[in-house]
């Protein structure tokens, strides 16, 4: 098998396909920290301090749905060990709090609200636990697996379990727990086979920062060494400070999947990226940050550079001490939803679309509808050109492209040209496409477009080509903020380390 055949043999699992189709979903950081006005608390606070008075998970989910989010992940237990469900394995839970006289179950309430409004429901269960005395001993793994079992058997379908690599055990003078991740994975796979395991897991990888900064080219096919829980933990947050949330480069190396980056690696995996970022400076709610909710332009930048750049967007929206999404956050989410709906409200119809001869069963017309089909050319070539004749001359500012990633990720570079006046003019130059690329450009008036794939790993498999009229409000994706020198330095360190690493963890299928 030659190298390109090898690269294109790496494809996603059904659960990875499903989560990439979601694109945009929410983090909900809520718990003891909300009432202590902290980001990290030490697990010593009394459960009596947890006392939301107006908690309404329906309101949470409506606010998320208004923004166009398609799922929600709740911090069922953060590092302080306080549980938002009545766990039978510890008394440090909502059952010991004043909330609903000890009869409340916030995990259950949110699960029902998500089902009611059509959102997926997921849980965050912190491996680090500052409250439980078993932490740091083998008995803690039994405890953790027991809590996973409670969450995965009592609350319906769970679309993801988010495993945080953050840890600061030195703060408590305790040894670091040697987490039995393989046992955690086995438990999740057995109880919820369709569930994604994110961050410190084999299904979805952390982008490498908490700023929402993305790569110019985001690849799903990467060396297996990118999935290494020790590396992920090492570069996750170790202290409770704001500087980490502002970092632009950590283990988010500038190039994980180009041909050059993959050269010499015999073990590759499908490992899509997820950007986790908060709508506020902190992950938990703080009254002092009410004036610091991200601007609509910033949120649009995030959306276009992540969801529009082959990356999942996990946007944190923290409920406040009342147990509600704050009015300012809810209003900003609604505004985001309106702006996105407006930006994609006017799809341009095609008079015709022409392309190189297609394989049987893969006609070019498949690109015109979002179903199970796709287009793939009959013969391999150095480049592939699609000509789009629009039904009428239109003011356009975006083209949305999707590959059918069931056949791997293949497109490495492409250009878009428009017929303006009496000649073709290049209006966009891009790299990868993946599950989705939103190509933004200045508003132009045209009736013809030419999309040329200039570099590809064998023949492409295109799922969709869509063109949209401008609504006058589109925000262009900002130029990359990567610190190139640092990124390349750390990239080299990763792959040098991987070549000498003799015990790379096996991906759980």
- pLDDT of the chain, 509 residues: tens digit per residue: 799 999 999 999 999 999 999 999 999 999 999 999 999 999 999 999 999 999 999 999 999 999 999 999 999 999 999 999 999 999 999 999 999 999 999 999 999 999 999 999 999 999 999 999 999 899 999 999 999 999 999 999 999 999 998 777 677 777 778 899 999 999 999 999 999 999 999 999 999 889 888 899 999 999 998 887 545 445 444 455 555 444 443 444 789 999 999 998 999 999 999 999 999 999 999 999 999 999 999 999 999 999 999 999 999 999 999 999 999 999 999 999 999 999 999 999 999 999 999 999 999 999 988 777 999 999 999 999 999 999 999 999 999 999 999 999 999 999 999 999 999 999 999 999 999 999 999 999 999 999 999 999 999 999 999 999 999 886 754 444 433 334 434 434 443 333 333 333 333 34
Element (H, E) at 16: helix 14-22
Q: How far from 83 is each of 34, 86, 283, 317, 419, CA to CA, in Å?
A: 13, 7, 17, 19, 59
10-340 CATH fold: TIM Barrel (3.20.20)
Q: How far from 281 is each of 209, 245, 278, 288, CA to CA, in Å?
A: 14, 8, 7, 10
Residue 422 burial class via C-beta count within 10 angstroms: exposed 0-12, middle 13-18, buried 19 and up: exposed
Element (H, E) at 394: strand 384-403
CATH for 350-469 is 2.60.120.260
CA 216, 220, 221, 224: dihedral to nearest 10 degrees? 110
pTM of the full structure: 0.90
Task: Give the pLDDT of residue 474.
Answer: 61
Task: Give the pLDDT of residue 241.
Answer: 56
Domain ranges in the chain are 10-340, 350-469
CA 9 to chain centre: 23
Q: Which of 193, 112, 185, 107 is nearest to 145 (CA)?
A: 185
Helix residue spans in 98-220 (DSSP H): 106-117, 138-154, 181-191
Residue 68, sorted as left (phi over 0), alpha (psi -120 to 50) or beta, turns out to be: left
Q: Rounded to 5, what percent of the chain is helix, strand, coil?
A: 30, 25, 45
Q: Which of 90, 73, 77, 84 is nearest to 161 (CA)?
A: 73
């Amino acid at each position: 098998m030659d190298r390109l055949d090898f690269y294109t043999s790496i494809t996603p699992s059904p659960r990875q396909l499903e989560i990439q189709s979601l694109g945009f979903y929410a983090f909900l950081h809520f718990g003891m920290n909300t009432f202590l006005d902290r980001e990290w608390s030490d697990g010593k606070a009394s459960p009596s301090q947890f006392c939301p008075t107006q908690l309404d998970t329906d309101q949470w989910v409506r606010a998320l749905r208004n923004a166009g989010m398609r799922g929600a992940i709740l911090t069922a237990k953060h590092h302080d060990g306080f549980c938002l469900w009545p766990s039978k394995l510890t008394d440090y839970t909502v059952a010991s709090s004043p909330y609903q006289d000890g009869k409340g179950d916030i995990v259950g309430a949110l699960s029902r609200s998500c089902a009611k409004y059509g959102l997926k429901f997921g849980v965050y269960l912190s491996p680090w636990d500052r409250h439980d005395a078993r932490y740091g001993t083998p008995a803690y793994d039994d405890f953790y697996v027991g809590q996973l079992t409670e969450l995965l058997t009592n609350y319906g379908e769970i679309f993801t379990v988010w495993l945080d690599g953050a840890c600061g055990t030195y703060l408590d003078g305790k040894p670091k727990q040697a987490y039995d991740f393989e046992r955690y994975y086995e438990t999740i796979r057995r109880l919820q086979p369709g569930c994604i395991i994110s961050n410190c897991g084999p299904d979805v990888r952390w982008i490498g920062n908490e700023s929402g900064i993305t790569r110019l080219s985001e690849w799903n096919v990467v060396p297996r060494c990118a999935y290494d829980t020790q590396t992920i933990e090492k570069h996750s947050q170790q202290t409770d400070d704001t500087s980490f949330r502002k970092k632009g480069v950590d283990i988010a190396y500038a190039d994980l999947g180009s041909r050059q980056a993959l050269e010499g690696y015999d073990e590759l995996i499908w490992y899509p990226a997820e950007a986790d970022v908060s709508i506020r400076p902190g992950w938990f709610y703080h009254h002092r940050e009410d004036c610091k909710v991200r601007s609509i332009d910033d949120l649009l930048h995030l959306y276009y550079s992540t969801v529009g750049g082959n990356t999942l967007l996990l946007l944190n929206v923290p409920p406040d001490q009342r147990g509600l999404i704050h009015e300012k956050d809810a209003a900003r989410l609604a505004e985001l939803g309106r702006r996105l709906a407006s930006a994609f409200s006017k799809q341009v119809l095609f008079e015709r679309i022409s392309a190189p001869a297609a394989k049987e069963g893969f006609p070019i017309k498949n690109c015109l509808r979002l179903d199970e089909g796709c287009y793939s050319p009959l013969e391999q070539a150095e480049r592939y050109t699609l000509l789009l004749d629009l039904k009428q001359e239109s003011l356009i500012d975006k083209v949305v492209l999707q590959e059918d990633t069931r056949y791997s990720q293949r497109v490495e570079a492409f250009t878009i040209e428009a017929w303006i006046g009496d000649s073709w003019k290049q209006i966009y130059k891009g790299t990868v496409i993946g599950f989705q690329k939103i190509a933004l450009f200045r508003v132009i008036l045209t009736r013809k477009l030419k999309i040329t794939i200039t570099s590809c790993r064998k023949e492409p498999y295109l799922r969709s080509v869509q063109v949209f009229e401008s609504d006058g409000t589109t925000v262009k994706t900002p130029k990359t903020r990567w610190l190139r020198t640092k990124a390349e330095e750390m990239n080299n360190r990763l792959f040098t380390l991987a070549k000498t690493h003799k015990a790379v963890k096996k991906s759980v299928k």
